Homo-oligomer: A and B are copies of this chain.
Amino acid sequence: MKVEKILFPKVKALYEAVEELIFENIDVKEIKVSDITSRAGIGKGTAYEYFKNKEEIISSALLYQIDLICRQMIKNLEELNDFFQAMEFILCSIDREIKKRDCLIQFVHLLSDNGLIGKTLQKKIKETNQEVCMPRDVLSHMLQVGVANGDISRGISASYASMAIAAKVIAYIIYISDENWESECSREEMHRMICDGLRRELGHA
Contacts and interface: CB of A to CB of B under 8 A. Distances in A.
A114 interface: yes
A98 interface: no
Nearest to A173: B112
A62 to B, nearest CB: 15
Given A105-B112, A190-B160, A174 B167 contact: yes
B111 A109 contact: no
A76 to B, nearest CB: 23
Interface string A104-132: 01001101111110100000001000000
A201 B89 CA distance: 21
Which of A182, A194, A197, A202 gathers the greatest number of chain B CB atoms within 10 Å? A197
A53 interface: no
A97 interface: no
A80 interface: no
Contact of A160 (B25, B193, B201): B193
A100 interface: no
Interface string A65-98: 0000000000000000000000000000000000
B27 A114 contact: yes
Number of copies: 4
Interface residues of A, number: 50
Main secondary structure of the interface of A (DSSP, over half): helix
A190 B156 CA distance: 11
A4 to B, nearest CB: 23
A185 interface: yes
Given A116-B30, A167-B167, A159 B182 contact: yes
Contacts of A170: 167, 170-171
20 contacts: A25-B114, A29-B29, A30-B116, A105-B112, A108-B174, A111-B174, A111-B178, A112-B173, A112-B178, A126-B180, A157-B185, A159-B184, A159-B185, A160-B197, A163-B171, A164-B167, A166-B171, A167-B168, A170-B171, A197-B201
